[in-house]
Structure 1
Amino acid sequence: MISQEIRLVKISLTDSEKLTKIGRQTFYDAFGPPANTEENIQSYLNEKFTLEQITKELQHYNSFFYFAMLDNIITGYIKLNMGDAQTEPMQGNPLEIERIYVLNRYQGRKIGQSLVNESIRIAKEKNADYVWLGVWDQNPGAIRFYQRNGFKTIDSHEFMLGTEIQTDIIMKLEI
């Protein structure tokens, strides 16, 4: 029997095209129609998931990206932020999980759990006070997943997806 071990690999600038591709795909799969209109999704993708934008994010010294690899296949990724890279000003010295995505065909294989575990390990390694994230209020499965991992709701914020105002729940995990 072949072992299917999940490995996390730090993403570098040379991986920007791969990251852009998986970023676009996983975001579309998670939030595309029927959850949101095609127009709003395409607008968001064309703003946040271009090669130029992803390359810029990879170059930020306070952002860290990792691919989840299963048998040398990219199955998902995380984007972590500290300091001035965070999407919201937070108290103390936190680590933000800005993006955590797994390709649909690999969901249910504990890849998301591995990504959360790695985020917590990195936060501890970087002496963060806590880990926080924003999760769409219309994604109950993700909310339950984070709650099972000990995250607690602390706030919410609005964001634009195309022409629609949406709400993220802000969740925090003390470490």
Structure 2
Amino acid sequence: MVYKQVKIQSVQPRDVEKLLHIGRQTFYEAFGPPHNSEENITNYLNEKITLNNIVKEINNPKSKFYFAIINKEIAGYIKINFDYAQTEPINDNSMEIERIYVLKEFQGKKIGQLFLEYTVKIAKQKEIDFIWLGVWEKNIDAIRFYKRNDFKQFDTHQFLLGTDLQTDIIMKLEL
């Protein structure tokens, strides 16, 4: 079933607890065992996806978070970055999708597609040259999804998950 009543809603500072909860849950669902060790996931969550970090991120004027809401329930979220908030110095007129996560129970419902279309709309309004993102090289489903949406690989970078050094594929969509 594809949800037709998905609402994209800007995340506000008052939503930090909700964002923290869904951020931790979706990251664990996506990258927890058997993909990575429990220890590495727990360490990462406790170091990176914390209330303090979420507050800093949400208060950065060059980062924007959006929830996907279905029947008043948060189904997923996306984080986009502009200018100096981007995690890599790719291009002055680019936009990064740093995170795009959907709760496991809502996956396959076209929410990721809706987030991507919403992001493209924002980028075109801001006259951005291209959108880029990093995706774990072992996340084959996500890589396929981005390729179906005309993203092309142009680089890689290293990502430390706990004690495990991993590789992200850097992809971009020319606008």
Unmatched runs of 5 consecutive residues or more in structure 1? none
Match of 2:121 in 1: 121
Is 1:11 the equivalent of 2:11? yes
In structure 2, how many angstroms separate the alpha carbons of the residues matched to 1:109 and 1:139?
A: 18
| SS in structure 2 at match of 1:154 | strand
Work out whether residues 83 and 92 of structure 2, in 8 Å CA contact, stay in contact via their aligned partners in 1: no
Deviation at 1:138, TM superposition (A): 0.4
Match of 1:80 in 2: 80
Deviation at 1:4, TM superposition (A): 3.7
What's the TM-score once normalised by structure 2's chain length? 0.97
Letter in 1 for 2:8: L
Unmatched runs of 5 consecutive residues or more in structure 2? none
| Deviation digits for residues 55-100 of structure 1 (CA, Å, limit 9, x no counterpart) | 1100001000000011221100000000000000012400100000
Q: Which runs of 4+ in 1 moved over 2 A?
A: none
Work out whether residues 13 and 58 of structure 1, in 8 Å CA contact, stay in contact via their aligned partners in 2: yes
RMSD value, Cα: 0.9
Deviation at 1:169, TM superposition (A): 0.1
Deviation at 1:22, TM superposition (A): 0.1
Work out whether residues 20 and 50 of structure 2, in 8 Å CA contact, stay in contact via their aligned partners in 1: yes
In structure 2, how many angstroms separate the alpha carbons of the residues matched to 1:53 and 1:130?
A: 27
Is 1:130 the equivalent of 2:151? no
Match of 1:38 in 2: 38
In structure 2, how many angstroms separate the alpha carbons of the residues matched to 1:43 and 1:34?
A: 16
Match of 1:144 in 2: 144
Letter in 1 for 2:55: T
Equivalent positions of 1:23-62 (< 5 A) are 23-62=23-62
Deviation at 1:123, TM superposition (A): 1.0
Identity rate, percent:
56
